[in-house]
Amino acid sequence: NLSYAQLNRYSFEKGMMGSPFKLVLYAPDDSVANAAANSAFKRVEKLNEIMSDYRDGSEINLLSAQSGSGKWVAVSKELFDILAISQDISQKTEGAFDATLGPVVQMWRHATRKGIFPARQEIEEALSKTGFKKMKLDADGYKVLLAQKGMRLDIGGLGKGFAAEEAIKVVKSYGIKSAMMDAGGKIVLTDSPPGTGGWKITVSNGSDSLKTMELSNTSLATSGPTYRYMEYKGVRYSHIVDPKTGVGLLYHVRTTVISPDGTVADALATAFSVAGIAKSKKYMKFFPESKVWLVEKQNEQVADWNMLE
């Protein structure tokens, strides 16, 4: 084991999955640091080939193309693992998180590009092809069945958390003990930086209140109003969709989740944004190892539920 004094801090950044991915790690020398970072980013690239909804040939889009065929499709372990976590969280949040929202997300992307608000009928049509219960998983052989034609999976709500987890696994395989991967606000942390009490992470409720924490061996995800929204007649709709209405969230919400697993943290940050404070309190009983900070703004009123302490 190397002593702390022999370790240097390295940081790397690369744009991936539409977000900046930042990796900080402590390593004995440049060659170890560079090798670990290159392999970690390669792993994310590989995952993007599987999960990207922008690429026709991605594994997830090929799977969606088989929806309604009645076929159980064998998928990679990675894709199966993501879908299994997604399905578990859908069940525990009464569908607030739903990876089958692809048709609705696509419709909104199209609408945002054109600047035209979709007609009620178009929204209903897209919604009719969604529903997590129509996605069946068989852990024997990692098989997936999409029961209805026109279904389309979208794992944008937990993909970056999963990628951060996988990247950190790669970094660890180089013998590196202290590392942080920040995948566009989905952060996975290992041991504290040498000689410190933890990684200093500051989260904000979106207006004035900031909170700095020292964390290690855990993960943290934030979700909230960003540049990714659609504005129509002066109203901003989030890119997070309410699966019940098929419309982007109207109210401005900021959600922060700390969880032992980065994929779960990412999914919960999205799910709780949809569910709001009252329902999230109820769902939290299924996630005893997670903590959440949720701020809602509706009609100028701010409701703040903070259990990060």
Give CA 290 to chain center in angstroms: 15
92 scored as a contact of ligand ADP (CB under 6 A): no
Other residues' Cβ atoms within 10 Å of the Cβ of residue 142 = 18
Our CB check for ligand ADP shows the closer of 63 and 241 to be 241
Closest CA to 178 of 193, 168, 166: 193
Q: Which of 41, 80, 97, 142 binds ligand ADP (CB under 6 A)?
A: 97
Question: What is the C-alpha separation between 141 and 147, in angstroms, rounded?
Answer: 18
H helix and E strand count, the chain = 7, 17
Q: List the single partner that 101 binds among Mg ion, ligand ADP, none, CB under 5 to 8 Å by kind.
A: ligand ADP
Structure tokens at 277: 């404070």
Task: Give the per-residue SS3 of 113-138.
Answer: HHCCCCCHHHHHHHHCCCCHHHEEEE
101 scored as a contact of ligand ADP (CB under 6 A): yes
> Which residue stretch of 39-47, 68-76, 96-104, 268-276 sits at the interface with Mg ion (rule: CB under 5 A)?
268-276
Q: List the single partner that 185 binds among ligand ADP, Mg ion, none, CB under 5 to 8 Å by kind.
A: ligand ADP
Report yes or no: 53 and 61 within 8 Å, Cβ to Cβ: yes
* 3-class DSSP assignment, residue 63: helix
C-beta of 45: minimal distance to ligand ADP in Å?
18
Binders of ligand ADP among residues 239 to 258 (CB under 6 A) are: 239-241, 243
Residue 226, annotated as binding a ligand: no
Binders of ligand ADP among residues 182 to 201 (CB under 6 A) are: 184-185
R_g (Cα) of the chain, nearest Å: 20
* 3-class DSSP assignment, residue 203: strand
223 φ, ψ (degrees, to nearest 5): -140, 140
C-beta of 245: minimal distance to ligand ADP in Å?
11
Q: List the single partner that 241 binds among ligand ADP, Mg ion, none, CB under 5 to 8 Å by kind.
A: ligand ADP
- Phi/psi-derived region of residue 102, left when phi > 0, alpha when psi is between -120 and 50, beta in every other case: alpha
Q: 115 burial class (0-12, 13-18, 19+ CB within 10 angstroms)?
A: exposed
Give the contact letters, 208-227, x = binds to ligand ADP (CB under 6 A), - = no. Answer: ---------------x----
Our CB check for ligand ADP shows the closer of 63 and 269 to be 269
248 scored as a contact of Mg ion (CB under 5 A): no
Q: Where do contacts with Mg ion occur on this chain (CB under 5 A)?
A: 156-157, 266, 269-270
* Binding region for Mg(2+): 157, 266, 270
Give contact residues for ligand ADP (rule: CB under 6 A): 97-99, 101, 105, 154, 156-157, 160, 184-185, 223, 228, 239-241, 243, 266, 269-270, 274
